[in-house]
Amino acid sequence: MTGSPHAHTRCAIVPPYLLVRLARLDDPRFAAAAEAARQSLMRDAPIRDLRAGAHPSVRSSVHPSVQPSGIGTAVRGRIDRAISDAAGLERLPGRLVRGERQGPVADPAVQEAWDGLGSTHALFWTVFERDSIDDRGLPLEATVHYGRRYDNAFWDGERMVFGDGDGQVFNRFTASLTVIGHELAHGVTQFTANLAYQGQSGAINESVSDVFGSLVEQYARGQSTAEASWLIGEGLFTDQVQGVALRSMKAPGTAYNDDVLGKDPQPANMSGYVETEDDNGGVHLNSGIPNRAFFLVASALGGNAWDAAGRIWFDTLTSGTLGRGVDFRGFARATARAALKRYGIGSPEHDAVIAAWTAVGLGAGLGSVSSARTGAVTIPGGTGDPVALPE
């Protein structure tokens, strides 16, 4: 493909292990899906192992056919979007089909991408006062209809790119708001902590995108912590798949259980941590552990997850204290420090963070939660033990 000079930073939503399983199918009923998975892997493979490359540029990659709107950088918080159509080709950015000065179009993928970029921008600006993903008004760009039956969506360092799916296992990738929020959150990470996409730091990178992808959907829908689905990629699977989403933050390992795709392999606790060289050291697998920790914090505090839990994670990501290769324990300590700094020692927020990391097996060194202290929060389960799902 042709594309951006930062294509090495591509981060895709569908884990390679899932596409590999599809590609190896020897079942004539799924011949089209198997071929689509093989082609998708071939598109992704050349750069998958190079995602941890150079630090990002703050240069905008505005489509050459877009006339400056004058709103992208002139006023903080003003959104500037551009949606292009690759028309089944693998050339980026494609033909511009909608900008801020143009009205809606009939193509549902264009409209979904447009709305998703808007919802993501709204969360980061309204809740966190972050002016686009770089905090400098970076125009948000997306390309739809990339490739033929492409089974993925990705952030390439400059833009969102969406495939249409194979129609047998995967629907079009613009259909899930959490996918759009997830991929743009990779951009936020790129312009802040720039976490290395390998091993535990890579799993944190993936988890942070799941966290904010979920928050984008919750904020757009006005859902409380209790009302939210906590699913990533809900709606991506066709009705031929026994599954609800790519991942579940509430219950990692339960998003799908299908005779073709197999069972969701994500662990929810360090006792199930997966040691592997595949998937950049298990970045899409082990992200279930910090995902579960965030859900537990949000569930313990109640209300809207973007208020306290989301603020703690955002403060952590933008603190400037995370090393690119931070591991799970280092990230857990950083979230505890962020909660302490914003809410104080002994606060429900600080206690909830410590309790959540303890519940997933990463509480060592974070202190202890006193159930006797007024306002303290306890979560069932101890270090290394499975944790019962809150109601």
| Mean pLDDT score, 297-318 | 98
pLDDT tens across 59-107, in order?
333 343 343 344 444 699 999 999 999 999 999 999 999 999 988 999 9
Show the beta-strand stretches assigned E in the chain: 11-12, 81-85, 95-99, 140-144, 153-155, 160-162, 231-232, 247-248, 257-258, 262-263
CB neighbour list of residue 66: distance below 8 Å, 6 or more residues apart: 82, 96, 99, 139
227 burial (CB, 10 Å; 0-12 / 13-18 / 19+) is exposed
**Pick the catalytic residue: 182, 186, 284, 350?**
284
Question: Does 4 have pLDDT greater than 60?
Answer: no
Tell me how far apart the alpha carbons of residues 61 and 313 are, in angstroms, rounded to a whole number.
28
Looking at per-residue confidence, does 203 or 388 come out higher?
Answer: 203
Question: Does 194 have pLDDT greater than 50?
Answer: yes
Tell me how far apart the alpha carbons of residues 187 and 279 are, in angstroms, rounded to a whole number.
20
Helix, strand and coil in the chain, % to nearest 5: 40, 10, 50
Question: Does 47 have pLDDT greater than 50?
Answer: no
> Contact at 8 Å (CB) between 195 and 52?
no
User: For residue 266, which of 292, 227, 303 has the smallest C-alpha distance?
Assistant: 292
Is 183 among the catalytic positions?
A: yes
Class in CATH terms, 7-190: alpha beta
CA dihedral 232, 119, 135, 332 (to 10 degrees): -30
Phi and psi for 9 in degrees, rounded to 5? -90, 10
**Pick the catalytic residue: 112, 183, 206, 217?**
183
pLDDT tens across 313-356, in order?
999 999 999 999 999 999 999 999 999 999 999 999 999 999 99
pLDDT of residue 74: 63
Class in CATH terms, 201-359: mainly alpha
pLDDT classification of 9: cutoffs 50, 70, 90: low
Domains 7-190 and 201-359 share a fold: no
Residues written for the chain: 391
Q: In the numeric block, which tokens belong to residue 252? A: 């990692």
Domain locations in the chain as residue ranges: 7-190, 201-359
Question: Does 22 have pLDDT greater than 50?
Answer: yes
User: For residue 33, which of 144, 151, 147, 145 has the smallest C-alpha distance?
Assistant: 151
Q: Backbone dihedral region of 376: left (phi > 0), alpha (psi from -120 to 50 degrees) or beta?
A: beta
**Assessment of whether the complete model's pTM goes beyond 0.75:** yes
Classify residue 270 by its DSSP letter: G
**DSSP string over 110-177:** HHHHHHHHHHHHHIIIIIT---TTTTS-PPEEEEES-SSS---EEE-SS-EEE----SSSB--GGG-H
pLDDT of residue 64: 38
CA dihedral 254, 247, 361, 205 (to 10 degrees): 170
pLDDT of residue 277: 93
Question: Does 222 have pLDDT greater than 60?
Answer: yes
pLDDT classification of 369: cutoffs 50, 70, 90: very low
Token look-up 């409380």 returns 224
User: For residue 234, which of 223, 222, 248 has the smallest C-alpha distance?
Assistant: 248
